[in-house]
A and B are shown apart, each in its own frame.
Chain A
Amino acid sequence: MRVSYKWLKDYVDVTVSPGELADRLTLSGIAVEGVHELGAGIERVFTGKILNIEPHPNADRLTVCAVTTGGPENLQIVTGATNIRAGDVVPVAVEGARLAAGLVIKKSKLRGVESRGMLCSGQELGLDPKTMPADQAHGIMILPPETPLGLDIKPVIGLDDAILELDLTPNRGDAMSMVGVAREVAALLGQKLRLPDIDVDETGDGIEGRVKIDIKDTELCRRYVAKLFTGIKVGPSPGWMQERLRAAGVRPISNIVDITNYVMMELGQPLHAFDYDTLKDGRIIVRRAGEGEVLVSLDGVERRLNGDMLVIADPGGPVAVAGVMGGLATEVTENTRNVLLESAWFNPISIRKTSRVLGLRSESSSRFEKGIDLTGCLRAARRAASLLAEMGAGQVASGAVDNYPAPHVPKTIILRPDRIEHLVGTAVDSDACREILTALEFGVQKNHQGLMVTVPGHRPDVSLEVDLIEEVARMHGYDRVPTTLPYGPTTQGARTREQSLAMKVKDTMASLGFREVITYSFTSQEVFNKVNLAPESPLRNVLALQNPLSEEHSVMRTVMLPGLLEVLRRNANRRVTSLSIFELGKVYLSRGDAPLPEEKQVLSAAAMGGTSRGWNKPSLEKDFYYMKGVLESLLAQAGISGTSFEPFKDDPSYHPGRAARLTAGEQLLGVLGEVHPDVVENYELPGRVVAMEIDFGIMASLAGKAGKYRQIPRFPGIERDLAVVVELQVPVREIIGVVKKSGGNLLRRVELFDVYQGEQVQQGFQSLAFSLTFRAEDRTLTDDEAAGLINTIRENLAKKFGAQLRS
């Protein structure tokens, strides 16, 4: 909504500058986004008359004009404009003039002919071409012929004004009008509101018998006022009206259309003018459209209607989509002689739906959507009549048809002033409340309960006591509410155990060299193919968005891996090929008939390339064991023990020989492994990728609580190395199992420090070197005891695996 500062002064004495007014309005609930000073920077542009136009001797597209601005000397001005005629009054920028875009006008020669100024278009003076009459939108601005010459252009075309750009909240439909804003301004500044004149000189015959209004759906149309104008002379509206419409951002079209727009801007009541003679029998029927009924709207487009839409019809069929757009057949044209003016109330929800379905939003529909003043329809129609009469554009038939089946019953609300203090935290006494509410045109009476407040028709958004409290609080000023802290028992703020663990897990991943990423929760079905999911995989059972922004983001993800691989791919394209990333995010799994799906938190990570290399440290390939080590550190940090890794060939996204699942008893914690080469290829990644996906919920359920202190060993341990050669196919975990079992409870630690396959070892075998630590709680172990244990271990390994010993 654009509010002209100058126009506003018609209704209220504005005692502050546009900038200050903007601040005051913003702080009381009418947000002003910006203040535009029209005409800022425009200098030395005057009204001038074109006396003569001659062709340019050297250029076909230019003409040479003789122009007077009322001075003793005529100016020779060269122009490329084509919409001018001798005798037109136009804005003339003379030497030294400054225009809207900072352009400075100097005496110049154009193709050999001297030019001492410039004829201006509206745009060059800072006006929006969309608000110019169509024939002047891209040409020179033509002023009314009676305009005096030599005047500063700014006041002549309304550039001595400031526009306040409002950003209205959806509840404040009342402020979508000049009078509505003026009412707020008057209340803020303690001034009186002056309403526009609606006295009409009704010279025409009575409307009775000539217009009949029939409302079939009183839910969707609670009131329909019609007035009849006769003997219309369609032509341009006066300059002052065009200037104001321009300020409001509306293009002047013709006197009749301009009056309807002017009154809408002024009072917030959308009006529609029908060519009365095109309406069958002078009858208006307000009804729902028939399913599939068709109307050609003003813009010439054929609109297919449905039974939820309200139409204005005559006995022959629809003539307008109520409140949204008029029909072409009944449009006011230059041949129109009689006009039926509609001023009605349409249901906001219905209008909103209709305008959405048709994809038509207009100044009218946006006002109906927010709810207009049911009590204001007749006033607006009379205001239009009064303007018509004042402009001498036709006669006003006396009377109006006002079909108003269930007149407005004003709401009455009790306001208890102590509730204001209770809710807002500062006392506003009942006299102050009454003053504030009265200024906003609420009716206020005191009684034993407090204030009996009657809500005016222009505030359909107010229905509860708390709405009145807000009115009082905003006009009193939020800044005057003292700043306090909540009173009452101290509460302990905290994170849940799971939230704290999530923090710890993220911190641990970061300290292990992983960078956190955040990817979209939605993805495309296509990624399931890219990560090799089987056609029958339950993970393909996705939750799909009904209205996605794009195919790429059309379903909720059920796996994390594709998101991470996509991040790797994008970074690889930017030549970042060595990286480790993680994300703690959710996957969304359908639960059949349950209303909401399962949202499962998954800790996922992926890495490719190598670890950082330095002059003293080689780069290690980010392989399966890198990721496994990360996971093991993470489990240790989270205090999770008793898990085991097992070979896992059943996840088609991973390399069947290089993947493991992590289990804790019966529970599956997750998967880690090298990403399947096909998948790597699908993502066009430059090398091997390792990844893991861990169920965070299970992880949290296993995570240790703060452990109790265990005594530091009092007796020294003995360390011994043990190397054995075993067949390759024996999993190391089994060997360690036998070592631990044989070592009994004196064996405190088993660490595998070397794995060797090669020349020194028979083919098909590998050498494993362990470091074993033995320790007793109650005494210092002897070398002999350790040697005995080592022997037992060796014997058992030999027995179980035929292991050979190496020294």
Chain B
Amino acid sequence: MQKQLREMEAGILEKLKSVSAMEELNEIRVRFLGKKGELTGVLRGMGALSPEERPVIGQLANEVRARVESELEKRLSELKAMARNARLARENIDVTLPGTVFDTGGLHPLTTVSRQIEDIFIGLGFSVAEGPEIELDYYNFEALNLPKDHPARDMQDTFFIGPEVLLRTHTSPVQVRTMERTAPGLPVKIIAPGKVYRRDDDATHSPMFHQVEGLAIGSRITFGDLKGVLQVFARQMFGPETKTKFRPSFFPFTEPSAEVDISCGMCGGKGCRVCSHTGWLEILGCGMVHPRVLEMSGYNPEEVTGFAFGMGVERIALLKYDIDDMRLLFDNDMRFLEQF
């Protein structure tokens, strides 16, 4: 019987070597180890053995079973690995084929730049306000200290809808509308992005363009604060190395007034085509809110002060992306827009 067991074992182990499919392996397991399997058959015959032989054969049978089982397992995992490898080999693809195509859209560069500007000022505690594009003369001019015959009205060539109704020439009317609403409450900190209109059309002017206006009113706001806020803005917008320069200027609605230059990022201030070889780029106008403007909007200029600034979004977009013709921004040529 020992011999029979050993032969059986040898036979099975031999067979296992040539097995190449997992089903065969299962068959062998059943034929040998199953309830009606060969090994079980052999063990059934143990009743005929002598009591001395029984434990010997029993132990041998268990050993054979263990060995066969372990060989089966080993063979099984070998076969699994072979099958997996075969599958991987079969499933080889050309990774250099292009990926699945998706339609990609995008935002207009002016939207992107506007958002950047807004986000910087939101971080500085300013809220975003809006106002009508078709405005009353009063809000666009008069309440900003530009009475009917003021020569500075010529600085902004205006589209008129009616004698008192016009397309706003700047976002400054939002200042007035905001102050009228908030007066005499403090503090006021808003920025007002939006479309504005002037009768100009060439490579550097568009009859419709975008501005962002800023206004801060408080009990202790100074020109120094204006410098500080705009310096933070310039550094965040154009990079930490950016320098700012404040030049005295004139706007009817601010006093003192200033124009702000930033150091040219293209040449680092050495002078180049973009900055007309001056090293500086003009980016915005600003100043302390004129006492008459405060007064007209319901604030007492003896008690509160404030600053205001306004910048052209197109100007900043042109600088940021080195675009040389403003008309490209409104041409909506996909070959242009796709670059953003």
- Residues of A near any B CB (own CB < 8 A): 26-29, 31, 169-172, 348-349, 352-353, 369-370, 422-426, 464, 466-467, 469-470, 473-474, 478-479, 481-496, 499, 503, 506-507, 509-522, 543-549, 553, 556, 567, 570-571, 574, 576, 579-582, 586, 588, 595-597, 599, 611-617
Contact = CB atoms under 8 A, between A and B. Distances in A.
Contacts, number: 254
Contacts of A422: 220, 222, 305
Nearest to A485: B228
Interface in B139-164: 149, 151-152, 154-155, 159-162, 164
A485 B216 CA distance: 11
Contacts of B256: 423-424, 466, 469-470, 473-474, 478
Contacts of B57: none
B321 interface: no
Contacts of A517: 108, 332, 337
Nearest to A517: B332
Interface in B243-293: 245-250, 255-259, 288, 290-291
Interface in B205-225: 207-208, 216, 218-225
B223 A481 contact: yes
A665 to B, nearest CB: 27
Nearest to B189: A491
A599 B332 contact: no
Contact of B250 (A170, A485, A507, A519): A170
Which of A467, A485, A509, A576 gathers most chain B CB within 10 Å? A485
A578 to B, nearest CB: 9
A493 B121 contact: yes
B311 interface: no
A516 B248 contact: no
B101 A613 contact: yes
A570 B333 contact: yes
Contact of A596 (B125, B136, B222): B136
27 contacts: A27-B247, A170-B151, A352-B154, A423-B222, A466-B291, A470-B248, A470-B257, A481-B224, A486-B225, A486-B228, A486-B229, A488-B187, A488-B219, A491-B125, A492-B125, A492-B127, A493-B126, A493-B128, A495-B128, A513-B104, A513-B105, A543-B161, A545-B167, A574-B333, A574-B334, A579-B334, A614-B100
Given A29-B248, A466-B256, A517-B337, 13 more contacts: A352-B151, A474-B248, A483-B224, A484-B228, A486-B189, A506-B111, A512-B105, A516-B106, A517-B108, A517-B332, A522-B208, A556-B161, A574-B333
B331 interface: yes
B11 interface: no
Contacts of B13: none
Contact of A31 (B102, B123, B249, B329): B249
B324 interface: no
Which of B103, B135, B229 gathers most chain A CB within 10 Å? B103
Interface in B315-330: 329-330
Interface of B: 97-108, 110-111, 115, 118, 121-128, 130, 132-136, 149, 151-152, 154-155, 159-162, 164-165, 167, 187, 189, 195, 197, 199, 201, 207-208, 216, 218-225, 227-229, 231-232, 245-250, 255-259, 288, 290-291, 305, 329-335, 337-338
Contacts of A488: 187, 218-221
A766 B8 CA distance: 67
B102 A549 contact: no
B332 A570 contact: yes
A612 B231 CA distance: 45
A353 B153 CA distance: 12
A512 B97 CA distance: 24
Given A170-B151, A494-B128, A521-B208, A470 B255 contact: yes
A469 B305 CA distance: 14
Contacts of B246: 478-479, 481
A595 B164 contact: yes
Given A495-B118, A586-B133, A426 B224 contact: yes
Given A515-B337, A579-B334, A588-B134, A424 B224 contact: yes
A615 B187 CA distance: 60
A616 B165 contact: no
A516 B111 contact: yes
A370 B231 contact: no
A447 B224 CA distance: 28
Contacts of B229: 485-486
Contact of A496 (B110, B128, B259): B128
B258 A478 contact: yes
A785 to B, nearest CB: 39
